[in-house]
Structure 1
Amino acid sequence: MKTDPVPQKCFALVTETYAPQVNGVANTLGHLCRGLLNRGHQIQLIRPAQSGEHPGISNGPELLERRVNGMAIPRYPELQLGLPAGNRLRAMWKRQRPDAIYLATEGPLGWSALRVARKMGIPVISGFHTHFQQYADHYGVGLLQQPIMSYLRWFHNRTQLTLTACPTQQKELMRAGLENLVLLGRGVDCERFHPSHRSTNLRQQWQAGENDIVLLHVGRLAPEKNLLLLIQAWKEALETTDHPERLRLVVVGDGPMRAELQKQLPDALFTGWLNGAELASAYASADIFVFPSIVETFGNVVTEAMASGLAINAFDSAAAHQHIRDRFSGCLAPVGDAKQFTCNLLWLIDDVEGRRSVRIHARHRACQLGWGPVIDRFEGYLSRAASGPAKMTRATHARDPRLKPGSSEPRG
């Protein structure tokens, strides 16, 4: 049955990161913002000015972009932490009051936006995009983990809803005391990421023949990404496989661990950051995707690799938990079980038919994960927030019982 279109509204999106920055949060927000614009809504995008930019306003017919002052995040120099901008936001929202606000980040900029919105009576929902509290140990501030979580709980519980990436994250946040959690999910562009982008020329640049096996890792090269396991698994693969000369390792991305990784993995190829057609070709030209991270809120790179037809080797969490069946559409190890993670990688390397079957099923599952339904949900949450919290809550639960806090959807 055809549903009536949502009346056009004005929504404000507040975030620390946005394209052309390369990370999962920027990628997700880009899809959500474009989706709302394509449906005729007006968008106010509030974010810090990045390197080479100046604070100010870019005003288009449907998209008003407000860049505010920021400061570099320690060990993340490519990102700017948005500074409080309460006065500017108050003046902006007095001139054009948004129907609802989405807070994608919880830093000083998000805090000031929440404070102003509550004083002005503008409905606010939020999203949990980054496990900042889990990063504390990796950056030598483990004692701050509990205070960070307390702040995040305080922040999100003062918004009408908190949108989560996947059911496992939803359950973790419920245990941490966050309330009013609903599933947003993530999509993947299966035309952009497609096995047809496989390139013989690129594989030749990687010194990989047609029968060689290319292992690929894509992501930020940082301590919290558990990359010591990538080193360990690669070395064990070279030592135990019958044909180590047929193995290649390609690492896409950059970050503070790059120099150490290059030292530990002298036979690997490091490309730096890739995007667009170059990234799609890199995915499709590999064979196995190796993803040892256990701190992801979702892990967009997992579904991008699946859409590209790769065999995924990951831990049983976030996107991998939600969309992969072990030894069917990928390989899953219990979270933290490094031995099983490495055993799974060796199986994918040695079992040609098993790897081929996994790749086929991974692509099939990814093709069920378009962005359309995700944008539908996002638009619905914002529109119902604009109608008032009581009406929003009833409508949300009546619309789809699977979106109740703690619910999940069938795994692929």
Structure 2
Amino acid sequence: MNTPDHNLNKPAPLNIALVTETYLPEVNGVAITIGRMVQGLRKRQHRIHMIRPRQFKQDVAANEEGYTETLVTGMPIPGYPELKSGLPAKGLLMRLWKLHRPDVVHIATEGPLGWSALSAARKLNIPVSTDFHTNFHSYSQHYGVGLLKKPIAAYLRHFHNKAACTLVPTASLQQQLEFEGYRNVYVVSRGVDAELFHPAKRSAELRASWNADENTPVVMLVSRIAPEKNLHVVIQAFEQMRKINPLARLVMVGDGPARAELEKQHPHVIFAGMLTGEPLAQHYASGDIFLYPSLTETYGNVTVEAMASGLATVAYDYAAARQHMRHDENGLLVPFADTDAFVKLATGLISDMERVKRLRLAARETVEALTWEHIMGEMEAVLLDTVRTQGVQNVQPELSAAAD
């Protein structure tokens, strides 16, 4: 099932309570996607009340036309000290939503704050939609808690099945979750800022700083530098690529707990650190080949950002890569988790730069029409349908099921 049908007439603005445990200026795919969601829904005149953890001591809640915030207490997430998990806040949310009842509650993350929001909304009989953004159960094995994989997966299914619907970015993830017992899963894809991420941002000066001229193959990775991102595959592939062309360069953009050790072990790799906006766009566009070895994505924004920037991308055949790439037409798709195949395809690519040029052009053409404006139309349709459906059904609140 895809997104529900919706009336083409302009709908009345919704009052949307949006609950998330990560938001801008934090740099991760979820925060960036939620930022785009807020921007797109406000552009369509919907009113947003954001509930999120306080990110730092001086953090101040926004209060402007069409957009307000409530900040709650948070605690660092193990393995992600720069991110906060919101503490339970059911009582606060009950008071807030009794005073100013939203039309719909949309929950973007499944932590303690998300559970509180789900519980409060169900008790007040407010429609709820959720996002499935992160494979937390897949991450568990990378942080020494692999035994929790099954309980975490069960909790996530239980959480999302209490909502009216769950939104996912790809059809393949929809099918996977439905197979695992999730109900009412809709596909709302993700866009890309094709003006920001553009081949025209290519910088000869930046390439020169990497000791690369226009003919030097530059391999890019943009990622959190962390165990769950499977980065040893990129290192392995690049070592083979260097045997074919010793002048090749590898540039890693991002930060994380594995960076220090990788820098020590691989001094020839260029680590650019965390980048956003124009500097990030310039780094993407100044590369030639993009290697993305992660096996834990629900989507992978960086895949489409690389394609928009005109890079020949090698990625495993799932998530955004499966959604938007066609093998040897606009990128190279690798069988899931097949490290040998990944290394082989990447190595073959660097020995055929004419093929790289062809893939780069086709990649850019593929994502030019992947606008956030269209995606937000799909998102709006789901929220309107969720509100209408619960209004028609007049579902009674399930007080016992909603208890913390």
TM-score bracket relative to the smaller structure: over 0.9
C-alpha distance in 2 between matches for 1:165 and 1:39: 21
Q: Please name the residue that 1:303 is paired with.
A: 304
Mapping 1:104-143, distance limit 5 Å:
104-143=108-147
Does structure 1 conserve the Cα–Cα contact (< 8 Å) formed by 2:317 and 2:334? yes
Using the size of structure 1 for normalisation, the TM-score is 0.92
Does residue 366 of structure 2 align to residue 361 of structure 1? no
Per-residue deviation, 1:298: 0.2
Q: Please name the residue that 1:97 is paired with.
A: 101
Once the two structures are superposed, what CA deviation does each residue of 1:41-61 show, in whole Å capped at 9, x if it has no partner? Answer: 11001111113444x643211
1:15 counterpart letter in structure 2: T
Once the two structures are superposed, what CA deviation does each residue of 1:30-78 show, in whole Å capped at 9, x if it has no partner? Answer: 1111111111111001111113444x64321110111110000011010
Q: Please name the residue that 1:158 is paired with.
A: 162
Q: Please name the residue that 1:229 is paired with.
A: 233
Does residue 208 of structure 2 align to residue 210 of structure 1? no
Does structure 1 conserve the Cα–Cα contact (< 8 Å) formed by 2:103 and 2:387? yes
Per-residue deviation, 1:259: 1.2
Q: Please name the residue that 1:408 is paired with.
A: none
Q: Please name the residue that 1:169 is paired with.
A: 173
Per-residue deviation, 1:391: 5.7
Per-residue deviation, 1:24: 0.5
Does structure 1 conserve the Cα–Cα contact (< 8 Å) formed by 2:238 and 2:347? no
Does structure 2 conserve the Cα–Cα contact (< 8 Å) formed by 1:195 and 1:284? yes
1:61 counterpart letter in structure 2: E
Secondary structure of 1:360's counterpart equals helix
Secondary structure of 2:347's counterpart equals helix
C-alpha distance in 1 between matches for 2:24 and 2:259: 23
Secondary structure of 2:129's counterpart equals strand
Does residue 61 of structure 2 align to residue 51 of structure 1? no
C-alpha distance in 2 between matches for 1:34 and 1:9: 14
1:359 counterpart letter in structure 2: R
1:27 counterpart letter in structure 2: I
2:111 counterpart letter in structure 1: G
Mapping 1:19-38, distance limit 5 Å:
19-38=24-43
- The change in CA–CA distance for 1:279 and 1:52 in structure 2 (over 3 A counts) is farther
Q: Please name the residue that 1:41 is paired with.
A: 46
Does residue 271 of structure 2 align to residue 270 of structure 1? yes
Once the two structures are superposed, what CA deviation does each residue of 1:287-345 show, in whole Å capped at 9, x if it has no partner? Answer: 00110001100000000000000000111110001111111100111011111111111
Does structure 2 conserve the Cα–Cα contact (< 8 Å) formed by 1:231 and 1:261? no
Unmatched segments (≥5 aa) in structure 1: 393-412
Q: Please name the residue that 2:13 is paired with.
A: 8
- The change in CA–CA distance for 1:57 and 1:51 in structure 2 (over 3 A counts) is closer
C-alpha distance in 1 between matches for 2:210 and 2:52: 38
C-alpha distance in 1 between matches for 2:369 and 2:45: 25
Mapping 1:263-342, distance limit 5 Å:
263-342=264-343
Per-residue deviation, 1:264: 2.5
Does structure 2 conserve the Cα–Cα contact (< 8 Å) formed by 1:213 and 1:349? yes
C-alpha distance in 1 between matches for 2:98 and 2:47: 16
C-alpha distance in 2 between matches for 1:230 and 1:52: 38
C-alpha distance in 2 between matches for 1:227 and 1:175: 29
Q: Please name the residue that 2:191 is paired with.
A: 187
Secondary structure of 1:250's counterpart equals strand
Does structure 2 conserve the Cα–Cα contact (< 8 Å) formed by 1:51 and 1:78? no
Per-residue deviation, 1:109: 0.0
Does structure 2 conserve the Cα–Cα contact (< 8 Å) formed by 1:188 and 1:369? yes
Q: Please name the residue that 1:244 is paired with.
A: 246
C-alpha distance in 1 between matches for 2:381 and 2:136: 27
Unmatched segments (≥5 aa) in structure 2: 1-6, 394-404
Q: How many residues align structurally?
A: 387
Per-residue deviation, 1:389: 3.4
Using the size of structure 2 for normalisation, the TM-score is 0.94
C-alpha distance in 2 between matches for 1:306 and 1:96: 43
- The change in CA–CA distance for 1:367 and 1:303 in structure 2 (over 3 A counts) is same
Greater than 2 Å deviation, 4+ residue runs:
51-54, 388-392
**Which shows bigger deviation, 370-379 or 126-135?**
370-379
Identity %: 47
- The change in CA–CA distance for 1:204 and 1:30 in structure 2 (over 3 A counts) is same
Secondary structure of 1:150's counterpart equals helix
C-alpha distance in 2 between matches for 1:116 and 1:57: 21
